[in-house]
Amino acid sequence: MNTDHFYRLDRPFHIAPGPSQVKVANLGSFPELVSRWGADPIRLLERYEIDPDTIEDRENFIECRAMVDLLEHCASRYDQPLFGLHLAELQEPAMYGVVAALCGAARDLREGLRCFVDYIPVIHSSESVLELVAGEHLSELRWSERSDMGRNVQASLQGLLMNMKMLRALGGRSFVPNHVQVPGHWSERSLGEVERIMACPVRTRSPQFSIVFATQALSLPIPSANRPLFQLLESYLAQLKSRAPHRDILDEVNDFVRGRLGCSEISIDACARTLSISARTLQLRLRERGTSYSVIVDQQRLARAENFLVGTDLSVSDISDRLGYAERTSFGRAFKRWTGMSPEQFRRRGRAGT
């Protein structure tokens, strides 16, 4: 092989969170939970300007502040001071997506937590600040937010249990937490319930939420360790992390379109929902960059069509389907408008090297 790369991706599979965004996966099981108390989940979501359709796709993002305020409202409205914990009881670490897969493929708990700390802000929430503090005898996994979210107890309680589930998934039965720390003032009843759910002691003398465990646990082997998978996933996420500070609206929209070509949900409204902005705002921001959503879709379709025509034996009808066209004739007209040639002419010329 005359290349330095064994494999190569032509695009990232994920859209990075924008400023103050979190994956909507955090609201997985939310409708189920509030429905138990006779509440209308759709009305609750709309109250905080969260599109109910958005939560059907776990890869979408929503504003962190909207989610925080929604959870605090539910805790107060339904007299559930541990609402965030109850929500997390219905969820699994898989909500962290590819980061959970990477951590599960790590060699030991130390390596898994290092990846968790490094990549959650890249993939899951730009607001997340995680820190692993390893002492001689005790270590501590802490987390907080980059911005002031106001009252943010429920999302922190959700994080407390989800992070504990992650630690237990990675460490297996050998992982035994020393205690968890929850800042603030709590009733004895609430603290007792937290201890029951967390299955470990709770302490309140701390400025932030955290999980404390024996430092020697960092050496625990992860049962699902898989070195090839780990190297593949970390290489991918490291590339995403390196480019994240430089991404702008064009990067985000191009990534969305590349990932959705051939799907019915490729409209500007679907893209705007994923980026947690209005379609009008998206149009204006693209206009400021000298382009439009339809132009970007055409550019991505052309690039994909050219690759298919020259690099595969797919029929023109199959290529049309994969690009999201209802009819082959529509694709043919669009392709001729872009290149001045029919798809068949382009394929013959490309393969002839002219």
pLDDT in tens, 303-315: 888 878 887 777 8
Q: What is the pLDDT of residue 239?
A: 86
Q: Report pLDDT for 165.
A: 97
Q: Which range is least confidently modeled, 77-91, 248-262, 293-307?
A: 248-262
Q: What is the pLDDT of residue 261?
A: 74
SS3 at position 220: coil
pTM of the predicted model over 0.85:
no
Answer yes or no: is pLDDT of 2 > 50: no
Q: What is the pLDDT of residues 204-257, one digit of tens each?
A: 877 779 999 999 999 999 999 999 999 999 999 998 888 765 557 887 788 778
Q: Residue 49: what residue type?
A: E
- Grade residue 41 by pLDDT with cuts at 50, 70 and 90: very high
Please report, as a single letter, which amino acid is at residue 60.
N
pLDDT of 184: 80
Question: What is the model's pLDDT at position 303?
Answer: 87
Across the range 33-61, mean pLDDT stands at 90
SS3 213: strand
Retrieve residue 276's tokens.
Answer: 């947690």
Cα–Cα distance for residue pair 217/175, rounded to 1 Å: 6
Mean pLDDT, range 317-322, rounded to an integer: 84
- Mean predicted lDDT score pLDDT of the chain: 88
Confidence of residue 1 (pLDDT cuts 50, 70, 90): very low
What pLDDT score was predicted for residue 342? 93
Question: How much is the pLDDT for 245?
Answer: 56
CA distance 132 to 130: 7
Query: Tokens 């955290």 label which residue?
Result: 210
Tens of pLDDT along 136-166? 899 999 887 776 677 889 999 999 999 999 9
Contact partners, residue 70, CB within 8 Å, separation at least 6:
27, 44, 45, 47, 48, 50
Q: SS3 of 141, please?
A: strand
Partners of 271 in beta bridges: none
Give yes or no for residue 9 having a pLDDT over 80: no
Is a pLDDT exceeding 60 seen at residue 354? Answer: no
Least reliable range by pLDDT among 69-73, 116-120, 327-331: 327-331
The domains of the chain, with CATH numbers, are 82-239 (no CATH), 248-352 (1.10.10.60)
20 band by pLDDT with thresholds 50, 70 and 90: confident
H runs (alpha helix) in 26-152? 30-35, 41-47, 64-77, 83-89, 98-105, 109-123
The tens digit of pLDDT for each residue in 96-139 reads 999 999 999 999 999 999 999 999 989 999 888 888 888 889 99
SS3 86: helix
Which pLDDT value is given to residue 10?
64
Rounded CA gap, 354 and 342, in Å? 15
